[in-house]
């Protein structure tokens, strides 16, 4: 009885075990699953690049269009992938809750870590391949780049934490959420540059925290990229940290309801 482990030690052991387990399932289910994880953003980028270059768009507000796309999509994919993986974490890991050391929130957090890790590897590989292709990539502000990247990851975690609880309590929400998230693609400054949006709509769109993250990511990679007005890292972090805390609070409040008998 005196050799009980401390709660922190247990949690860290659980996170490590979950992380390794998730990594195995995520990277090994299906043929060359890891390859598809990398290829998916690449294919999307190449597809849009082809489409834009057909319209003779070579650069976007002082940034090469390929880099502009790559950063935009990577940032956006970081949010959606972390968000979606986290959202389904509780449901997918129900079997594990028969070990009482594993709490639903652990599965969400480890999935966020794994997914951000995969996306970080992906963006690094994409950047490297663009450099090899001869594109002039220079990180103007590495700290800002890391801040924007982490901010987007946290945003995904907050979203995932909140909806992993809500979807378990009210399963219908998930279907509704798919419709709501569909136009987000176009409203996050990934495809359509935010600067091209006229004033009254611009201010409305700026409520979307993803735009802040994506734009700062681009800014950090160039000295010449036009900085959109009203961008704020404080807003991005305020939004993401609030949603993370709200999500954690929901997990505490409904911990018992998340485990299905």
Binding site for other proteins (CB under 8 A): 1, 4-5, 9-10, 13-14, 16-18, 20-21, 24-25, 29, 95-102, 256, 259, 261
Q: How far is the CB of 253 from other proteins (least distance, A)?
A: 13
**Cβ(105)–Cβ(251) below 8 Å:** yes
Q: How far is the CB of 254 from other proteins (least distance, A)?
A: 11
Is residue 114 exposed (0-12), middle (13-18) or buried (19+ Cβ within 10 Å)? buried
Tokens representing 49 are: 């690049």
Q: Judged by CB, which is closer to other proteins: 21, or 48?
A: 21
We find the least distance from the C-beta atom of residue 72 to other proteins, in angstroms, to be 34
Q: How far apart are CA 14 and CA 16, in angstroms?
A: 5
CB of 22 to other proteins, least distance (A): 10
Rounded Cα distance between 116 and 155, Å, is 11
Closest C-alpha to 152, from 183, 120, 180: 120
d(C-alpha 209, C-alpha 240), whole Å = 8
| Residue placing its CB nearer to other proteins in the complex, 100 or 175 | 100
Residue closer to other proteins, measured from CB, 102 or 155: 102
DSSP state of 63: E
Residue 134 burial by Cβ neighbours in a 10 Å radius (0-12, 13-18, 19+): exposed
State which residue, 14 or 152, has the beta carbon closest to other proteins. Answer: 14
Give least dist CB 4 to other proteins, A: 7
Q: Toward other proteins, which CB reaches closer, 74 or 110?
A: 110
CA atoms within 13 A on the CB side of 19: 15
Q: How far is the CB of 242 from other proteins (least distance, A)?
A: 28
Select 175 or 256, whichever has its Cβ closest to other proteins. Answer: 256
Rounded to a whole number of angstroms, the minimum distance from the CB of residue 109 to other proteins is 14
CA–CA separation, 74 and 198 (whole Å): 25
Residues in Cβ contact with 226 at an 8 Å cutoff, skipping those fewer than 6 apart: 61, 62, 195
Task: State which residue, 8 or 55, has the beta carbon closest to other proteins.
Answer: 8
């Amino acid at each position: 009885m005196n050799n009980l482990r401390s709660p922190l030690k247990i949690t860290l052991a659980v996170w490590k075990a979950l992380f390794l387990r998730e990594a195995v399932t995520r990277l090994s289910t299906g043929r060359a699953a890891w390859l598809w994880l990398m290829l998916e953003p690449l294919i999307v980028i190449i597809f849009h690049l082809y489409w834009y270059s057909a319209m003779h768009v070579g650069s976007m507000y002082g940034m090469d269009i390929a880099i502009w796309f790559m950063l935009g999509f990577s940032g956006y994919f970081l949010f959606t992938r972390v968000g979606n993986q986290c959202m389904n974490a509780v449901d997918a890991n129900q079997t594990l809750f028969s070990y009482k050391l594993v709490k639903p929130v652990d599965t969400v957090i480890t999935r966020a870590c794994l997914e951000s890790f995969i996306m970080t590897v992906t963006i690094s590989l994409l950047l490297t391949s663009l450099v090899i292709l001869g594109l002039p990539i220079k990180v103007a502000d590495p700290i800002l780049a890391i801040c924007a990247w982490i901010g987007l990851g946290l945003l995904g975690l907050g979203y995932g934490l909140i909806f992993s609880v809500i979807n378990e309590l009210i399963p219908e929400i998930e279907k509704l959420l798919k419709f709501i998230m569909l136009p987000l693609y176009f409203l996050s400054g990934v495809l359509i540059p935010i600067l091209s949006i006229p004033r009254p709509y611009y201010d409305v769109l700026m409520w979307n925290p993803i735009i802040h993250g994506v734009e700062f990511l681009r800014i950090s990679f160039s000295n010449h990229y036009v900085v959109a007005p009203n961008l704020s890292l404080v807003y991005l972090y305020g939004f993401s940290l609030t949603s993370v805390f709200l999500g954690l609070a929901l997990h505490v409040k409904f911990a018992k309801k998340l485990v299905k008998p």
